[in-house]
A = this chain, B = another copy of it.
């Protein structure tokens, strides 16, 4: 159900943002991009998303400048896409807080000093808001190790572009 184009609150930046990323497949695709996924087939395998839907979502994200689609076929987050990191991080923190009875599935660390990153994106060691290329992703106690073969490597790599 799309939002009507004349909904009463056209000024709201949240409404505008949700026109681009307000759909869970879209945010899962963006999440996987932050976790290191680059290729159409890897997104499809990782998410279990029908290829037609994946194709539509990726096209929208490219049109809106969230992803760049290179000649070699790889999809990478643009500068604009990288600025979605606080959205992904805050969703991860909310899910960890309320839906991780076995403990968090992933731990975010500052690669430079190994400090834990809190829900506001700050490193417990140096106190800085950690930029995306310096974030290291580790398995947490609630991780079942159940990623499909060949994809867990991608998901556990440091987030670098």
Interface size class of A (residues with CB under 8 A): 35 or more
Pair B95/A86 contact, Cβ less than 8 Å: no
Which residues A19-44 have CB closer than 8 A to chain B? 19, 21-25, 27-28, 31
Minimal Cβ-Cβ distance residue in B for A66: B98
CB distance from A26 to the nearest CB of B (A): 9
- A120 close to chain B: CB less than 8 A: yes
CB distance from A107 to the nearest CB of B (A): 11
Known A86-B90, A87-B87; judge A28-B48 contact (CB<8 A).
Answer: no
Pair A12/B80 contact, Cβ less than 8 Å: no
Q: Convert A77-106 into 0s and 1s, putting 1 for each residue whose CB lies closer than 8 angstroms to a CB of B.
A: 000100110111111111111111000111
| Chain B residues whose C-beta falls within 8 Å of the C-beta of A148 in the assembled complex | 8
CB distance from A149 to the nearest CB of B (A): 11
- A126 close to chain B: CB less than 8 A: no
CB distance from A128 to the nearest CB of B (A): 11
Partner of A143 from the list B11, B16, B31, B92 (CB cut-off 8 Å) is B11
5 contacts between A and B (CB under 8 A): A8-B48, A13-B93, A15-B28, A18-B24, A83-B94
Interface of A with B (CB < 8 Å)? Answer: 1, 3-4, 6-19, 21-25, 27-28, 31, 45-48, 50, 53, 80, 83-84, 86-100, 104-106, 119-122, 129, 142-144, 146-148, 151
Nearest 3 interchain pairs by C-beta: A13-B95, A22-B24, A17-B95
